[in-house]
């Protein structure tokens, strides 16, 4: 872009914010005439000014109503992937509630894993990665447990078919145990593992039983929490959908594209990428649900909610433990949920309610400081 044009665009600095100016600079084509650029800049100023919101406009309530009303029309609460019974995704109102409440344990955690350049079009490579990351527990491979009380040993027979399917050998599996089976000696043949107790006190039969329960949960392969994998085609490339998330361990895999892979667990994103990513993740997740339902909600409403949730640097849900707790007014908090608790605490601390927001003013029947209730006199009356 010509330097002359840059200075011209910069001359709008008093009318437009820097982020808009940068965006304009980046997106205008090079073969532009001066008059065309003037027109563009005028249009940008116009649309920027129409997008501005008046002082005293009640954006929060408008957002609440704009999300709440279409929410009543939402149907279909889960989405199922054909062929994979365990793979379903919570959508609709339950999912929205889940996100806005900032729940730690979401109903259906999942990831979309994108792969890097050479691998992403190769279906075999994708499938191989999928099986590699799927968490496999020992109990899935065992065909028979036998507890020999007399000899104080536990025998495990592994299914030959499954081992071949998973491309695992008994030797590899045994490697995983070492630390978790202290006090036992392990010997194995092709498809059989035998645990023998080192000390032979009679009361330690219980130990043997405990061991049996313990080794069932031992992970023999894959990434923790990845319960199910599903390679699917997305446009030109193949991606892996997973049920269960573990961003930390997936992102370090060499095949995975860390710039596109994401999880639907907001808290995990916050932990791995930080609060800004979490803010964007909330927007994306909510918007995805709304779009899937065929509803039309302006994204700025969702952005506002997301901003409020992330404003303190940690994710706070729209609950009485989250953002409502942050409200300055005692009366506003008391009018939401558990009023007695809030009143008692306010009394103990001698809290002062400055009556600066909506609910408390409605309660005492004073004008709400919004819209027509906002302006006041600047001149002192004598």
Select from 71, 94, 258, 369 the one that contacts another protein (CB under 8 A).
Answer: 369
Select from 218, 303, 308, 368 the one that contacts another protein (CB under 8 A).
Answer: 368
Stretch binding another protein (CB under 8 A), from 29-37, 59-67, 106-114, 225-233: 59-67
Stretch binding another protein (CB under 8 A), from 83-91, 183-191, 209-217, 360-368: 360-368
Stretch binding another protein (CB under 8 A), from 35-43, 197-205, 215-223, 372-380: 372-380
Select from 62, 218, 253, 292 the one that contacts another protein (CB under 8 A).
Answer: 62
In this structure, are residues 130 and 115 in contact, taking their beta carbons and an 8 Å threshold?
no
Report residue 155 as tokens: 């025998």
* Cα–Cα distance, 329 to 351 (Å, whole number): 9
Q: Write the binding mask 315 to 344 for another protein: x where contact by CB under 8 A, - elsewhere.
A: ----------------------------x-
CA distances from 229 to 129, 225, 255 (A): 10, 11, 16
DSSP string, 188-230: E-SSEEEEEESS--GGGHHHHHHHHHHHHT-EEES-TT--EEE
CB of 48 to another protein, least distance (A): 22
| Site membership for another protein, residue 3 (CB under 8 A) | no
| Site membership for another protein, residue 375 (CB under 8 A) | no
- The size of the interface with another protein (CB under 8 A), counted in residues, is 28
Is the C-alpha dihedral spanning 242, 248, 252, 257 positive or negative?
A: positive
Q: Which residues in the 189-248 window bind another protein by CB under 8 A? A: none
| Site membership for another protein, residue 182 (CB under 8 A) | no
In this structure, are residues 135 and 227 in contact, taking their beta carbons and an 8 Å threshold?
yes
Long-range contacts of 196-199 (CB under 8 A, 24+ apart): 196/151, 196/152, 196/153, 197/152, 197/153
| Site membership for another protein, residue 366 (CB under 8 A) | yes
Please say which residue, 54 or 179, places its beta carbon nearer to another protein: 54
Looking at the chain, list the stretches that DSSP marks H as alpha helix, in order from N- to C-terminal side: 3-10, 18-27, 34-51, 59-71, 92-100, 123-133, 138-141, 160-166, 170-177, 205-216, 247-251, 266-273, 275-292, 299-310, 330-334, 339-349, 358-363
Stretch binding another protein (CB under 8 A), from 55-63, 165-173, 248-256, 276-284: 55-63
Select from 10, 23, 36, 57 the one that contacts another protein (CB under 8 A).
Answer: 57
Select from 15, 46, 56, 311 the one that contacts another protein (CB under 8 A).
Answer: 56
User: At 263, is the secondary structure helix, strand, or coil?
Assistant: strand
110: how many CB neighbours lie within 10 A of its CB? 22
Stretch binding another protein (CB under 8 A), from 61-69, 174-182, 260-268, 279-287: 61-69
CB of 108 to another protein, least distance (A): 31
* Cα–Cα distance, 340 to 329 (Å, whole number): 14
| Site membership for another protein, residue 374 (CB under 8 A) | yes
First to last CA, the chain: 60
Select from 142, 153, 275, 363 the one that contacts another protein (CB under 8 A).
Answer: 363
* Cα–Cα distance, 177 to 274 (Å, whole number): 35
Please say which residue, 55 or 202, places its beta carbon nearer to another protein: 55
CB of 45 to another protein, least distance (A): 26
| Site membership for another protein, residue 58 (CB under 8 A) | yes
CB of 326 to another protein, least distance (A): 20
In this structure, are residues 314 and 275 in contact, taking their beta carbons and an 8 Å threshold?
yes
| Interaction site with another protein (CB under 8 A) | 56-58, 61-62, 64-65, 343, 347, 352, 358, 362-374, 376-377, 380-381
């Amino acid at each position: 872009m010509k330097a002359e044009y840059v200075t011209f665009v910069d001359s709008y600095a008093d009318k437009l914010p820097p982020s808009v100016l940068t965006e304009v600079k980046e997106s205008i084509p090079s073969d532009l005439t001066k008059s065309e650029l003037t027109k563009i800049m005028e249009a940008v100023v116009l649309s920027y000014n129409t997008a501005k919101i008046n002082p005293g406009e009640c954006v929060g309530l408008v957002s609440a109503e704009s999300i709440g009303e279409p929410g009543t029309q939402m149907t279909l609460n889960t989405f199922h992937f054909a062929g994979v019974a365990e793979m379903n995704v919570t959508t609709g109102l339950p999912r929205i509630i889940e996100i806005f409440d900032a729940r730690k344990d979401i109903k259906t955690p999942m990831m979309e894993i994108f792969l890097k350049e050479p691998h992403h079009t190769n279906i075999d490579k994708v499938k191989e990665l999928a099986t590699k990351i799927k968490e496999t527990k020992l109990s899935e491979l065992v065909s028979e447990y036998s507890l020999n009380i007399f000899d104080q040993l536990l025998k495990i027979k592994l299914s030959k078919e499954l081992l071949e399917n998973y491309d695992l050998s008994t030797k590899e599996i045994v490697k995983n145990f070492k630390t978790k089976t202290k006090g036992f000696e392990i010997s194995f043949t092709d498809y059989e593992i035998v645990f023998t107790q080192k000390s032979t006190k009679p009361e330690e039969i219980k130990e043997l039983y405990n061991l049996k329960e313990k080794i069932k949960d031992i992970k023999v392969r894959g990434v923790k929490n990845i319960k199910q994998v599903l390679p699917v085609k997305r446009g030109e490339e193949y991606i892996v959908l997973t049920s269960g998330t573990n961003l930390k361990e997936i992102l370090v895999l060499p095949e995975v594209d860390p710039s596109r892979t994401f999880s639907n667990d907001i808290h995990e994103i916050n932990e791995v990428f930080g609060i800004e990513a979490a803010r964007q993740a909330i927007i994306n997740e909510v918007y995805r649900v709304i779009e899937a339902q065929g509803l039309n909600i302006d994204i700025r409403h969702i952005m506002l909610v997301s901003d409020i949730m992330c404003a303190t640097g940690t994710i706070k849900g729209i609950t009485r433990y989250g953002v409502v707790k942050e409200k300055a007014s005692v009366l506003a908090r008391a009018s939401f949920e558990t009023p007695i608790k809030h009143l008692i605490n306010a009394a103990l601390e001698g809290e002062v309610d400055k009556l600066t927001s909506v609910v408390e003013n409605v309660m005492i029947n004073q004008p709400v400081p919004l819209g027509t209730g906002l302006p006041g006199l600047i001149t002192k009356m004598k």
